[in-house]
Structure 1
Amino acid sequence: MEGLFIPPLDRLLQSLNLMLLDSVYLYLHGLVHWSKLINGSQEVLSSFCGKLRNLSNKALTASPTKPLKIAMTDFPGGSEAFELMAKFCYNSGRAQMITSHSTCLLHSVAHFMDMSDGVSASTNNLLELTEKSLAGLPYWSWPEIMHALKQCEDTFPVSVSSGLLDRVLESAVSRITAVADASPSGSSPESSALRLSVDSRSTISAKNSSHRAWWFEDILSLSPDVIKKIISSMVLQKVDHVLVSKFLMHYLKNAASSSSCNKKRAAEISIELLYSLDGGSSVSCKGLFDVLRVSASLKLSKDCQIKLESMIGRKFDHATLDSLLIPAPAGMDCLYDVSLILRFLKCFLSTRKVRESIARLKQAAKLMDSYLAEIAPDFSLKPPMFLSLATALPDEARDSHDSIYRAIDMYLEVHTQLLEEEKTKLFCAINYEKLSSESCKNLAKNSKFPSRTIIRALISQQRKLRSLLKETSQLKEPSPERNQSKKKQLSSDDQQVILYAKNLEISSENKRLKSQLQGMQWKMTELEKICKKMQAQMEKAMKLRRVSPSGSKSLPRLCS
């Protein structure tokens, strides 16, 4: 092809290359001074380019005596594309120079420069010739398709508006899906000898890429916007969501470890695309926390942050304690980002499937109990926030409130300066009827809890025992006279309840319940002793208060 160039073209390209050295991309940042072009260049290029012809006519009409200056911004493909266009024009529109490696670049130039039918002096026009070449897209090799995508990146605005990018993407996705359907193991569409990446990297060995598909590394080399389009196209063509998710996770980790300035854009695109895959259901909870960790310092957009939190929240019951211990961002007093955990819980509870699953609620409660115990010693954690975390899940999520009690006990151990009002609000998180006898006994001796709370806990324990005895008695089918007798017994005082428990006859199939009652009997006796002692002390304290004119004496410490 070099022998076909006439001298003016050589000098023209040499002149252009010198100017390009001064301004990186002449057509992105500078002016083309038409007067600097070698004799005949204007006529040759204008004979094929409608845009140049129109600009030249307008400039000459506006000022026929001044030197002609034509400015072109955003020339697609920069100097390489201009050189290819010039070669086409100086070779009288020969089609031989249009190959799979130049088609996409020249197609975008043809659109930008209006090199279509009715403009070209030759019987051939660049747009028509590139269209004919694009008709062979289905037969291009994978490296040729990747090279075409790279050229679409270089001419992005034009390749998008002309529809070229969509056509190349469709061909790429079709190749990926065809190979995936034919070879589930993830083999390449070409042999390993031919499967070289377009950026001259070595082939990906099966050993090193067994956990990812053959196309992962090649797609990584594309820009975030092109990746977004190709993955969106794959989703529309119903490519397996798990496979797409694996690529997005791989892409995000690769972007995070690189020095590219596109880290934030890559993270936002990955999150948006993961969210489009059924709300991130195809990604593990651990994987989503990895995304959160990678993107924590990137200052994601508000919408993107909400989507990521929503995906994690829906899988909250699959999280681990280590995942939840997220350091608080700068400006927050507490050690951990407890506000973020509350937002996770809100998303978790907003899911219908969660609300209808007691098992998932209980798993989340178990996790939250561990989290509360971990953050309770944080001196900077405010009581309202601790209470919000303790009460975020509905009551049915916990069969026992022993862990809640222990977490509050630890919190009070550190936060010794709390007001009584603040303590009272914290105690509202405890369902005393769901405390074990052991925890209730411990609470009764706990000096950090006020007497009103202790009495309330003991009364709840008595009520629970009565309920248990009532359920046990209903397992038998007694006569009406015996049933009436039991009702009288159940309405008597606590001593009668204990005596009733001693004398209760339980059938052989209820041996387990009998054993449980016997185990609780001695605990209940201890609780009664404590309760009577408290009542006596309370009566004594009230008498002292009535006798004292100043009323300055404080109540004695109970259960010491």
Structure 2
Amino acid sequence: MDVSCDLEVDVNGEEIFILDKRIICSYSGRINKLFGKSTGSSSQSLKVIFHDFPGGAEGFELITRFCYNNGTIEINPSNLSRLYYAAHFMEMNKSEKFLEQTEKFLEEMKYWTWSELLVALKQCQDLLPSVNSSGMLKKCLHSLVGLAAETSPCLSNSSPDSFDTRSTESSKNSSVRATWWCEDLVALNTNLIEMVILLMVSQNFNHIITSRFLFYYQKSRFVLATSDQKREITETVINMLYSLDWSAISLKGLFGILRVAMSLNISKCCRNKLESMIGSQMDQATLDHLLVPSPIGTNYFYDVNLVLRFLKLLVGKGMCRVPLVRFKKVASLMDLYIAEVAPDPCLKVSKFLELVRALPDSARDCYDPIYHAMDMYLEVHAGLSEEEKVNLCCGLNNEKLSSEACKHLAQNNKFPPKSAVQALTSQQNKLKNLLRETDQTKPFIDSSPGFVDIDAEKKGEACEQIVVYAGKIDRSTENEKLRVHLQGMQWRVMELEKLCGKMQTQMAKIMKSRFSKSSSADP
């Protein structure tokens, strides 16, 4: 067969091929459409330039071998991808033999080994995005994920933070090793990783294993990545983690990604997803997790606004969806955090109050830690106006302050006198309620010898403490209205003290009388 050289093909600027137009046209529908009817002179060759040929010069060379070898070529996992997509590009649909060979290989893909699948998938990766929605890519991904799932048992008692990725033949056959495949998949780009994870989710792949792999993938790919590549990797990992069961994701890992993401300027959508995942697990966080440095351009020591967003996301779920015990754990954590940020001289009163009020009041059984944090805050912010101090103290629930905290507050010159009055009033109300409950629920004294009414003793001590509190407030600095109010309150407390004293005397007499009767009745 005579072979001429009348067709010049420039493939993606990589290499130029000089070919026989007649041979290529007999197999390629695309070339035939361009030059099939051309009758140019033998001295003038035709030329075509391809800018997006899948597989580049190597892929085109496979096609030319197929055409020059009478439509036959050895097909194997290492060249199937390039042949498949190059043939589609060249519109070689008329070659029934080639189509039969490729279709047969695609059908047998489910029996391929892990290594063969990985080779084919990496070739597909080189051909993206032109093969993004092809049937071959989907079959390869399904086979790969299916093989990984078969050898990845559920990890019911494992921690989301532990991870092992050594890929050896012995480990691949071990039911204990559930993540042997992870090291191999790190080589895939973000487009393919996204497809792999979505397939894992659709096939109910273990979410703990999947989330571990994503954290490992992000860490491994960062080693040689540019800033733009790091941003793309981080956004992909966040999006994929968001599709998993959030309770299966390591909170430590999420905070690790958060600290990285802060310097990468990731999209607002991805940042919101990341914060949502963290906010949902706030009861599992530690103080170290929350102590994130403030962004550049702000004066705060720590990123208070970030923590507030976490809390809003948690509270946004509502008390009906989040158990109260979880809110109480978060409240204990926030008490530590508020105490940590209180000495920050740049922290505004409004921001401090936001932190205190971010959780519902029912989340705290005691406000003593908040009071001590306010005490530190006022120590650092000595220049606050009286109005600002009063506004700050609005964050206290005096009903949930201990008597020791109230005593300290009443003698604390850093707090406004109005707060001392409120604390005293709260203690007065507590005492009234205690007396009322005693009258209703304890009309009689226990007749057992040696019985002591502890509540009555506590009432007497509470009355004495309240009188001391009121007496130690510096009233000389207050206006006439406040002095009158304090005097009236102190008088009412003294009356309660007298009442407590009478009750104690009566209780003692009754106990003495009953004890005497009991003694005389003994033989």
Common topology (TM > 0.5): yes
Match of 1:91 in 2: 69
Q: Select which of 70, 75, 78 maps to 1:101.
A: 78
How has the CA–CA distance of structure 1 residues 293 and 520 changed in structure 2, closer, same or farther, with 3 Å as cutoff? farther
Moved more, 446-455 or 514-523: 514-523
Cα deviation, 1:112-155, whole Å, max 9, x if unaligned, reads 110112xx4xx63x344212221110121110000010111111
SS for the counterpart of 2:302 is coil
Match of 1:246 in 2: 212
Match of 2:470 in 1: 531
Instruction: Tell me, in whole angstroms, the C-alpha distance in 2 between the residues paired with 1:435 and 1:528.
Output: 17
Match of 2:298 in 1: 332
Is contact 2:152–2:178 with CA below 8 Å preserved after alignment? Answer: no
TM-score (ref. length: structure 1): 0.76
Match of 1:78 in 2: 56
**Equivalent residue runs for 1:86-485 within 5 Å:** 86-95=64-73, 97-117=74-94, 120=95, 124=97, 126-180=98-152, 203=168, 206=171, 213-259=179-225, 262-278=229-245, 280-352=246-318, 356-476=322-442, 478=443
Instruction: Tell me, in whole angstroms, the C-alpha distance in 2 between the residues paired with 1:323 and 1:344.
Output: 12
Is contact 1:354–1:361 with CA below 8 Å preserved after alignment? Answer: no
Is contact 1:107–1:131 with CA below 8 Å preserved after alignment? Answer: no
Give unmatched runs, 5+ long, in structure 1: 17-25, 187-196, 479-503, 546-560
Is contact 1:30–1:71 with CA below 8 Å preserved after alignment? Answer: no
Alpha-carbon shift at residue 92 of structure 1 (Å): 1.1
Instruction: Tell me, in whole angstroms, the C-alpha distance in 2 between the residues paired with 1:147 and 1:544.
Output: 84
Q: Which amino acid aligns with 1:526?
A: Q
Is contact 2:167–2:180 with CA below 8 Å preserved after alignment? Answer: no
Q: CA RMSD in A?
A: 3.8
Is contact 2:411–2:473 with CA below 8 Å preserved after alignment? Answer: no
Cα deviation, 1:461-489, whole Å, max 9, x if unaligned, reads 1111222232344333x4xxxxxxxxxxx
Is contact 1:56–1:70 with CA below 8 Å preserved after alignment? Answer: no
How has the CA–CA distance of structure 1 residues 274 and 356 changed in structure 2, closer, same or farther, with 3 Å as cutoff? closer
Q: Select which of 33, 45, 53 maps to 2:24.
A: 45
Q: Which amino acid aligns with 2:104?
A: K
Q: Select which of 522, 537, 542 maps to 2:461.
A: 522
Instruction: Tell me, in whole angstroms, the C-alpha distance in 1 between the residues paired with 2:481 and 2:78.
Output: 101
Instruction: Tell me, in whole angstroms, the C-alpha distance in 2 between the residues paired with 1:333 and 1:204.
Output: 54
Alpha-carbon shift at residue 47 of structure 1 (Å): 1.9
SS for the counterpart of 1:135 is helix
How has the CA–CA distance of structure 1 residues 296 and 281 changed in structure 2, closer, same or farther, with 3 Å as cutoff? same
Q: Select which of 11, 17, 23 maps to 1:27.
A: 11
Instruction: Tell me, in whole angstroms, the C-alpha distance in 1 between the residues paired with 2:424 and 2:2.
Output: 105
Match of 1:499 in 2: none
How has the CA–CA distance of structure 1 residues 472 and 42 changed in structure 2, closer, same or farther, with 3 Å as cutoff? farther
How has the CA–CA distance of structure 1 residues 353 and 81 changed in structure 2, closer, same or farther, with 3 Å as cutoff? farther
How has the CA–CA distance of structure 1 residues 178 and 429 changed in structure 2, closer, same or farther, with 3 Å as cutoff? same
Is contact 1:31–1:71 with CA below 8 Å preserved after alignment? Answer: no
Q: Count residues with an aligned counterpart.
A: 475
Instruction: Tell me, in whole angstroms, the C-alpha distance in 2 between the residues paired with 1:544 and 1:221.
Output: 74
Alpha-carbon shift at residue 7 of structure 1 (Å): 9.1
TM-score (ref. length: structure 2): 0.81
Instruction: Tell me, in whole angstroms, the C-alpha distance in 1 between the residues paired with 2:180 and 2:481.
Output: 86
Instruction: Tell me, in whole angstroms, the C-alpha distance in 2 between the residues paired with 1:507 and 1:403.
Output: 41
Alpha-carbon shift at residue 65 of structure 1 (Å): 11
Alpha-carbon shift at residue 542 of structure 1 (Å): 3.1
Give unmatched runs, 5+ long, in structure 2: 159-164, 484-523
How has the CA–CA distance of structure 1 residues 139 and 205 changed in structure 2, closer, same or farther, with 3 Å as cutoff? closer
Instruction: Tell me, in whole angstroms, the C-alpha distance in 1 between the residues paired with 2:346 and 2:156.
Output: 54
Instruction: Tell me, in whole angstroms, the C-alpha distance in 2 between the residues paired with 1:69 and 1:135.
Output: 37
Q: Which amino acid aligns with 2:375?
A: D
Instruction: Tell me, in whole angstroms, the C-alpha distance in 2 between the residues paired with 1:375 and 1:181.
Output: 45
Instruction: Tell me, in whole angstroms, the C-alpha distance in 2 between the residues paired with 1:410 and 1:202.
Output: 54
Cα deviation, 1:416-460, whole Å, max 9, x if unaligned, reads 121222211111000111111111111111111121111111110
SS for the counterpart of 1:290 is helix
Q: Select which of 462, 476, 480 maps to 1:542.
A: 480
Is contact 1:112–1:158 with CA below 8 Å preserved after alignment? Answer: no
